[in-house]
Structure 1
Amino acid sequence: MRKSVFILLLFINSIYSQDKSNGLSISGNLKVLFGLELITPKSILLELRPNLKIADIDSLGNYKFENLKSGVYKIKVIDFNIKPKEFEVEIKDKSITNFDLLVTSDCEINKEIAEIDIKLKKPRLLLIGSIAPIIYHNQGEFEKKYNIEYYDFGCMPPNEECVIQYNKTVFNYLDKKYGRKWRKEVRKDVIGIN
């Protein structure tokens, strides 16, 4: 009888230990270096391997993976604005907080960003303005007519080459869809239009 109780207690202890190890977490903050600017991306997903858990970030760039066991994990940053990057982290016996991630943007994929925006029917024409963005009285008519939006980075733009690559992809899209007539109506301060 004592042997059965002892085995039962070992079994219960084993289950309790597994539940305790499932209570571990990894959390931190994500920032993207885009040109010379450090930003919090608006939308990004993080994938935890080997579990294939997905987490998104809040408006401040914070993320959290919960209910993990001890072991080695890889966090993969999933977003079209940056080079895919993986970070390795090992959890032993306690949760990991402040596992901050920094990724660098890649200009070469801004063409891909434009192609995705076009597929989503949300293309933009990018501007680099100043502290106070300039809005023309008739720009809303242009945006509505060509189903496009002007977007002004203000005085803290990403690398201008990235902006030009994005805009040229959108220019080609507009040329194919509307011919070249839109070019006579577009704002002349759109980057790369000249």
Structure 2
Amino acid sequence: MITSNRYTSAACNRTPESLDWGEDGLIYFAACHAIAVFDSNFQVSSKIVRTLYGHTARVNTVKKIRNVPPAEQTVDLVSGSDDGTCVLWDSREGVKYTLKGHSKGVTQVEAIYHQRDGLLVATGSADSSVKLWRREGDQFECFQTIDLRTGYCFALKFCTLPRSGGVMLACATD
């Protein structure tokens, strides 16, 4: 018996950071415990072209990593979930790394490629902390934790400083 998929439907999770539109023209959105990859220009229509599985609870935040150098294109997407993890993805193949360290759900993620430091990742959680991660060999390690006491992280954004080339993280809290 031959089967084929005629139609796939998925709803986007109702969290503020659950969707991002990549430079590749694809839309990445949280759909329950997964990430749906939507191509709005698929042939003459639109279609969910891939579904990425790697979380065990609701996905809260999805970010496409911008300006990925050609040599580093194995990680190009980052997500955070109520399971307390952040997953770094190859959006074509699936999970590459799972970052564990938060005691509650990850609600914010941000990532940047930096010439000197490589891939830097920031995660904000309902446990009132922000964690900074970097690659150490073939693993990612948390190298700094910012304790927000009882505060909540609403947004994270990395930027590169123009003169020094250093990286700055902006964090919006309550």
The TM-score range, normalised by the shorter chain, is: under 0.3
Q: TM-score if structure 1 supplies the norm length? A: 0.22
Greater C-alpha Rg = 1
Structure ranking higher in strand proportion:
2
